[in-house]
A and B are shown apart, each in its own frame.
Chain A
């Protein structure tokens, strides 16, 4: 199945081009970017058991760094993207260092509060568009070819996603990954066999934030626009829905959930299927989410997995 999926994502743009449906290449690229963001959330939420309800802060911060730099005339991705990752990681370090002193519902609330604070900071930045956001004159530059080309852009994003997923795969199977999962399973015992729990959780949080920042840098380029809605709590909630839909703590949970949720949105918000009713596309999408949670509580990736956990 994985092989089929790989062939599909590799050939998708060519197939769409042949069918003269280039529009769908953009939608697919968006799915790849959200797949990365959702995978980053799944690292803290699924593997680490840290229910972060503020992941939009890192996603949005990464996006805004790219947007602001482009507005100031710095378009090179060699500068903008690493900076986006670094700022998101720093934000995760600060937010994580404080939030991880709490547990349970307090952790959910404090991460949400930090993300909303970040949201209002960017809304109040009048010189960078405030409420209206910022348009970028073009996508990032620096690779010697234009990223405005939908094919080039799709394959670049795909390459980065595969790289990040490979990194994550190594990470969750490493010593570090095992400790993070052990802390999720039983924090007290993890400390009692000799692990400094806080340090492991914080580092996991920072790694996740950094990856979300990279996804943010990509989403800014996708639309050549950054706005405060990228930081809004609804964005955090959407990422969480993707992870739950795909499978919490399942390696493919993030990517599968992102692809399925965005595909459902596309399907029900377009007029061909529902006509005038498509204005209310949230309803059928919501019903499907409900069905997944009720009948496949381990998510889509979990339902297809060989071994339960």
Chain B
């Protein structure tokens, strides 16, 4: 579904992503793990179009998307969530989601008809709110939500664009155990409809959700495989997992 070939990105003298080739298959939850500074978020930026690749190619659903801008990639079905919550803080939860729904349903170069009269947008927004467990909070403004709820909305904004592949950048960042549990449930629910590329530090979540895992160290992919293979991989243990798995 998504294939990266020899993707590279440098910032000045620092090589953040160094010749990464990776294939994400339709329907899987593919986890991307690695120590801090390994280049995972940069890689997500390259895939989503927020950053331009210096070298290599990205193809999505059989089409080259390397030179498309972010908004064009979203239209093609490639959406992302952010590690640092990025929502419309002064909009209500429902308006946040409706705005994302609006982006892919018809033209928004529409200047006359009140958006409030478009029941279909808000119906769909409510459906997403339900999916992410915020159905009771739709009329709150986003900055009134708790951290965990904002993280859920963050994922909801990506889902509301009806992606075929969603890039989730540390959805559980800063969450308590109860909030993490809910996020794991959410991801297991959406996996039926959408392919997931998941960047996450919470190993418990990764091993519960992932069909396959790729490990990134210093800008390079050092291993890709099923969770059991990754657990057994000596190089991975050395580079990253060592202590946690031993424990």
Contact = CB atoms under 8 A, between A and B. Distances in A.
Contacts of A176: 108-111
Residue among B79, B80, B82, B114 with the most chain A CB within 10 A? B114
A197 B102 CA distance: 14
A139 to B, nearest CB: 31
A179 B108 contact: yes
A169 to B, nearest CB: 9
Interface residues of A, number: 25
Contacts of B181: none
A193 B99 contact: yes
Interface in A174-216: 174-179, 181-182, 185-186, 188-189, 191-197, 200, 203
A189 B74 contact: no
Interface string B75-119: 100011010001111110001000110111001111111111010
Contacts of A186: 86-89
A173 B115 contact: yes
**Minimum-distance CB pairs A-B, first 8:** A194-B74, A194-B103, A193-B100, A175-B110, A175-B108, A185-B88, A189-B86, A173-B114
B236 interface: no
A178 B111 contact: no
B87 to A, nearest CB: 7
B148 to A, nearest CB: 19
B68 to A, nearest CB: 11
Interface size class of B (residues with CB under 8 A): 35 or more
Contacts of A280: none
A171 interface: yes
B115 A192 contact: no
Interface in B107-135: 107-116, 118
Interface of A: 170-171, 173-179, 181-182, 185-186, 188-189, 191-197, 200, 203, 309
A176 B116 CA distance: 12
Given A185-B91, A189-B87, A193-B157, A179 B112 contact: no
Given A176-B110, A196-B71, 12 more contacts: A175-B110, A176-B109, A178-B108, A182-B88, A186-B87, A188-B86, A189-B82, A189-B86, A191-B70, A192-B80, A192-B158, A193-B161
B50 interface: yes
Contacts of B194: none
A190 to B, nearest CB: 8
A197 B69 CA distance: 11
A193 B160 CA distance: 8
11 contacts: A174-B115, A178-B95, A178-B99, A179-B108, A189-B82, A191-B70, A192-B157, A194-B75, A194-B79, A194-B161, A309-B90
B91 A182 contact: yes
Interface centre among A179, A193, A195, A200 (most CB of B within 10 A): A193
Nearest to B142: A185
Contact of B50 (A170, A177, A188): A188
Nearest to A196: B71
B48 interface: yes
Contacts of B89: 185-186
A200 B71 CA distance: 12
A188 B79 CA distance: 13
Contact of A185 (B79, B82, B90): B90
A82 B82 CA distance: 46
A217 to B, nearest CB: 22
Contacts of B107: 175
Contact of A174 (B75, B91, B113, B161): B113
Contacts of B116: 173
B104 A194 contact: yes
Contact of B71 (A173, A177, A194): A194
Contacts of B48: 192
Contact of B70 (A181, A185, A192, A309): A192
A194 B115 CA distance: 17
B111 A170 contact: yes
A190 B69 CA distance: 13
Residue of A171, A173, A194 contacting most chain B CB atoms (<10 Å): A194
Nearest to B69: A196
A270 B37 CA distance: 66
B29 to A, nearest CB: 21
Interface string B50-70: 100000000000000000011
B111 A171 contact: yes
